[in-house]
Structures are given as C-alpha cells and as structure tokens.
A = this chain, B = another copy of it.
Amino acid sequence: MKALSENACFGGKQGVYSHRSETCDCDMTFGMFLPEEANHGPVPVLWYLSGLTCTHENAMVKAGAQGWAAEQGLALVFPDTSPRGEGVADDAAYDMGQGAGFYVNATEKPWAAHYRMWDYIAEELPALITGNFAIDREAQAITGHSMGGHGALTLAMSLPGRFRSVSAFSPICNPSSSDWGRKQLGAYLGEDEARWAAHDATHLMREHGFDGPILLDTGTEDQFIDLLRPEALAEAINARRQQAVLRLQPGYDHSYFFVSSFMEDHINFHAEALYAG
C-alpha cells in the first residue's frame, strides 16, 4: 500500500492510498480520513460509497464530511467506484464500466475479469484498512450517494452484523425496475433477473430488512428521481415495519450541494449507532 497524499484535516488526517487489489486484479485507490482520536487507539469507521462517474475523490472533497466526522471521532473511508486501468474493460456510456461498478461481482464477459466491487468493498478493503489504520472493525457503518446508496443498502442488508447503521443520499432503490440498473445488472450478472435480486435494495428489504437504524434522504427536485424509485423502497420499508427515517427534502436535487446539506445529520445518525454498541 502506498500513500499518494496525506493532509492535516480538522485535527486529523485525510489520506489517499493506492494498493494492488487481488480481488479486482488491478491497482485501486481510496481516501481515508482519520480523526485525531485515531492517534490514541482504534476508532469507529463510516464507509462512504460514491455514485456513477465518481472516483474516491469526489465525496472526499465535496461532501463536507470530515468536519462532522472529526467532531464525532469517526474515521471515513472513500473507496473508488470500479476497477480502473488500461487492461480493464470499459464502455463509452457514463453509466457502464469504469466509474460504474454498481458494487457487484460481475460474472459476464468482458467484465468478470476485474469488476468484483462487491468482494472488494465487503472483504479486501476492510481487511486492508483494519490492518493498516487504527480502525475498530467492530464499529462500522455505511452510507453512500446514488449508485453508492444502492451499494450501501445492499451491502448492509446482505452482511448481517457488519454495519451498525446504514444511510443513503438519493439512493438507487430498485435497480431491477430502473434504467439505472437493468442495463448494468444485465451486463454484469447476465440476463437471468433472479440473479439481480441480491443487488436490489427493495427486494432485500422485502426479504431480509436490516437489523439497525436506516436514514434515507432524497431531494424532491432530484433530476434523476424517476430512476431512483424511492417509492418502491419506501413501500417495502413500511410494509416490513423496518426501523427507518425516510426524508424527502424540498427543493434539493441530486448534487453534492444536497449531500453536503444533510451530511451533519448522517454523520450524527451513524455516530449514535456506533457509540451505542
């Protein structure tokens, strides 16, 4: 693992690191914020999964999360959204291939060789960060934006006990029924839709739910809201009687201006869950 940069930040440190990923069979880069408390011992960690077209960098520089994380003594990890590099398959569309991994393990050509973002986020990167930084592996929470909200929700529901809390900003809620999902799941996982269900938050909510609190924010003026389908997940959460707070924020769109406006709430929400256990 190699440090590409490390900057003092809100009394702690914002780093960017690259490493050879066995899972994705390429070099991968991630951002990591450590609060001052990490100098004295392991701290809880909040994962932030980004959306389409993003790298590890977008949320790290635009979401305004570090200040609130520093107040709460939380680490933040900002993974990339796909494998990258010259030998890695890609697509001309912004919503396929590099920058659009959708947090699945691809089984279909040409994607299967590198696109294993599920295992990367669920297995390889947790081992790497808990082995190299002062992170309490028993105190993890997860959030994300758009495609990253989809990733956060599906990982949280599929890995019981891993995350104490899950939140999302304008998440893709029901990709099996959306143009943000059908194309990608079909390409990465094949046309058998039964294999998509494990990557559809609405389906997972109906089948499993989440053993902890959920916070979801979506802007009423989100320009992609018809692709997000919050109504499907809202129905499933309510039908399940799942502990949750679902907010439709008036006037907000899909941008990082929206994400940053409610970041304090999300950090504090996760801190409450992380320090309760």
Q: Which residues does A use to contact B, with CB under 8 Å?
A: 213, 218, 220-222, 225, 230-239, 241-250
Determine if A246 and B243 form an interchain contact, defined as CB atoms under 8 angstroms apart: no
As for how many copies of this chain the complex holds, the number is: 2
**Minimum CB–CB distance for A12 against chain B, Å:** 32
Given contacts A230-B238, A234-B237, A235-B231, is CB(A250)–CB(B220) below 8 Å? no
Contact partners of A232 in chain B: CB under 8 A? 235
Q: Determine the residue in chain B with the shortest Cβ distance to A228.
A: B238
Contact partners of A230 in chain B: CB under 8 A? 238
Give Cα distance in the complex from A61 to B238, angstroms: 30
**Minimum CB–CB distance for A232 against chain B, Å:** 8
14 of the cross-chain contacts (CB-CB < 8 Å) are A220-B241, A220-B243, A230-B238, A231-B239, A234-B237, A235-B238, A242-B248, A244-B247, A244-B248, A245-B245, A245-B246, A245-B247, A245-B248, A246-B247
**Minimum CB–CB distance for A199 against chain B, Å:** 21
**Minimum CB–CB distance for A157 against chain B, Å:** 16
Interface SS, A side: mixed
Given contacts A213-B250, A250-B213, is CB(A234)–CB(B245) below 8 Å? no
Give Cα distance in the complex from A243 to B219, angstroms: 8
- Residue from the set A213, A220, A248 with the largest chain B CB neighbour count within 10 Å: A248
**Minimum CB–CB distance for A4 against chain B, Å:** 40
Q: Determine the residue in chain B with the shortest Cβ distance to A221.
A: B241
Given contacts A220-B243, A243-B220, is CB(A238)–CB(B231) below 8 Å? yes
- Residue from the set A235, A247, A250 with the largest chain B CB neighbour count within 10 Å: A235
Contact partners of A246 in chain B: CB under 8 A? 234, 238, 244-247
Contact partners of A249 in chain B: CB under 8 A? 243
Q: Determine the residue in chain B with the shortest Cβ distance to A214.
A: B248
